[in-house]
Structures are given as structure tokens and as C-alpha cells.
Amino acid sequence: MKEQPRKLARVLYLTDLHPSDKFGSLEEQIFVIARMFKENGGLFVPVFGAPLGKLTTQQYSDAGLRVNWLNLHELSLQTLRRLLMLIRKHKVEVVHWNFYSPINPYVWLLSLLAPGLCHYLTDHTSRVLPLAPPPRGIKKMLKRILFKRYRKVLCISDFVMRCLVLQDIWSNVSRCTYFINTDRFRPIEDVRVATRTRLGVTDEFAVLFVANIMRWKGADVAVRALAELPNSVVLWVVGDGEELTSVRQLSGALKLDGRVRFLGNQRSVEPFMQAADCFVCPSLWG
């Protein structure tokens, strides 16, 4: 007899992404997975960490998909009540956590109030070298006990997986790398010309940097490198973050104001990808 495909679970996907101002590869992946679950008889409800915005709400509504948001960084009775309502309303079987600490009060409260739930965790946390030493003694023993609550821990890279294995407190680690829809960035000449014209670029060589502008993403490296290049090279910086002010100041100090364009967060980065001549990623993590 032909083996029947396993039924897809009903999943509540809790992620601290803020989708109102961008639709990057992670946001697209979540949307695609939700759609594929629906098409194959399952349920995958994304719950973002901030208000959704009109475009995100419309996108999910047009696809007939459910979506919500909760601020899970602060413990409150009202938020716990809303979380439980979502779980019961959608008959959720699996809660998947991403961009949240594994030591999370909501996990332990749900373990008491909804003990039948399975919990999954994606570890998307960036590590700064040198790595902190692994826990020892009582701390290690307690973490081993607590983290058994997660049925599976998914790591976004070999590096993250090695870090968790070295800690010797996880028994259920595997790798699950992200996909990128390269179709979104295929060259379109009309878009290239229109975007370059809008940004005042004709024959210049345009370099593109796209990231959450934090120290380890290397925006300052891109700006310093630009200072070593001919005046015909310009840099477009797409994104926002804690280091934006200092990167702007660096650009001014190097007298690059006319060659660096800070474009802020963009919901769709495709036009900039299609218009640039080169993409740079000087991040510590690649």
C-alpha cells in the first residue's frame, strides 16, 4: 500500500519581526510557508512582534491567510490571555518561537496552562567572538532540564548549530537554513533605469548595502571602503538601526556626503537590487 502523507500540524509561529516597514527574505519565507500549509491542509499562523501595517494585513487577507501580532517581550496577563485565545481559536498543536529567548516566561506559563502543546525554537541569534564559555555546574543542569521543553531546536547555520552543540545543554538540535527567492531580484532594465534616474545616478558605479544597521553588519566598513574608491563610485545604504547615526557621522567626517545615500527602511528592496551595479555584505556573519 502507498504510504499516506503525514498530516500537517496546526502551528502558531511567534516571531519578533516587525513587518510593517519591510518585506525581506524572512518575511517572504513566513508568508510562503503559511500559504503552503494552507494549500496542503495544515495551518500556519504568523504572530509578529509589532503592529502589522496596512500592506501586510492586506497581503495576508488577499491570500486568505490568518495573521496577528503580540508584544511578547513584556509579561502581562492581557497578552497571555490573547495568546491563549489564539491557541484555542485555531486549535494549535505546535508553537514555534523565533527571535525570542529560549528562557521565556510565556513558554513556562503555556506549559502549565496548555501542557499538550509542542514547542519548537529557531535560534537566529548572532554570536560575537570570542564565544562565551559554556555553562557549568548547576546552571548547566538547570538549562538542560528547562530546554527539554522544546521538541526541536532549528539553527539557521552550521555555525549556530556548532555553538549549541558546544554548550552541551541541548539534545534536539538540527540545521534549517533559510531560502531566498532569487526571482525577486532578476534584472529588469526599465526598473533599473527608473530607479537610477530617481536617485540621480547615470554613469556612476552604484554599490548597494542592505541591512539592519548594527555594529556587526559592517556599514562602517562599506563607507570606509568607499573613501578609497574613485569619485565615480557611489554607495546606497538601505536600512535603519542603532548604528545609523554613527555611520552618517562617519560619512560626513570622510567628506562622502555627496556619494553616500541613506535610503532608510524599504518595504521592497528589489528596485535597488536591480538598479545597483554591485551588492556588498561586509557583515561579520556573512
Per-residue confidence (pLDDT) for residue 260, from 0 to 100: 97
Q: What is the pTM for the complete model shown?
A: 0.86
Per-residue confidence (pLDDT) for residue 112, from 0 to 100: 95
Long-range contacts of 82-85 (CB under 8 A, 24+ apart): 83/110, 84/110, 84/113, 84/114
CATH of segment(s) 10-175: 3.40.50.11190
Per-residue confidence (pLDDT) for residue 235, from 0 to 100: 98
**269 grid coordinates:** 528592496
From first to last of its 286 residues, the chain has per-residue pLDDT tens of 555 667 899 999 999 998 877 788 889 999 999 999 999 999 999 999 999 989 999 999 999 999 999 999 899 999 999 999 999 999 999 999 999 999 999 999 999 999 999 999 999 877 777 778 888 889 899 989 889 999 999 998 888 999 999 899 998 899 988 778 888 888 899 999 999 999 999 999 999 999 989 888 999 999 999 999 999 999 999 999 999 999 999 999 999 988 999 999 998 899 999 999 999 999 876 5
CA distances to 10, 167, 182, 186, 240 from 179, rounded to whole Å, are 22, 27, 9, 16, 23
Per-residue confidence (pLDDT) for residue 188, from 0 to 100: 94
The yes-or-no answer to whether 10-175 and 186-279 have a common fold is yes
How far is it, in rounded angstroms, from Cα 247 to Cα 249? Answer: 5
How far is it, in rounded angstroms, from Cα 58 to Cα 168? Answer: 44
Per-residue confidence (pLDDT) for residue 3, from 0 to 100: 59
Per-residue confidence (pLDDT) for residue 133, from 0 to 100: 83
Per-residue confidence (pLDDT) for residue 215, from 0 to 100: 86
How far is it, in rounded angstroms, from Cα 2 to Cα 4? Answer: 6
Q: Considering the domain 186-279, what is its CATH architecture? A: 3-Layer(aba) Sandwich (3.40)
Can you give the three-state secondary structure of the chain, one letter per residue?
A: CCCCCCCCCEEEEEECCCCCCCCCHHHHHHHHHHHHHHHCCCEEEEEECCCCCHHHHHHHHHCCCCCEECCCCCCCHHHHHHHHHHHHHCCCCEEEEECCCCCCHHHHHHHHHCCCCEEEEEECCCCCCCCCCCCCHHHHHHHHHHHCCEEEEEECCHHHHHHHHHHCCCCCEEECCCCCCHHHHCCCHHHHHHHHHHCCCCCCEEEEEECCCCHHHCHHHHHHHHHCCCCCEEEEEECCCCCHHHHHHHHHHCCCCCCEEEEECCCCCHHHHHHCCEECCCCCCC
User: b/e map of 98-123 (b: 16 or more CB within 10 Å)?
Assistant: bbbebebebbeebeeeeeebebbbbb
Per-residue confidence (pLDDT) for residue 171, from 0 to 100: 85
Q: Where are the domains of the chain?
A: 10-175, 186-279
Give CA 273 to chain center in angstroms: 19
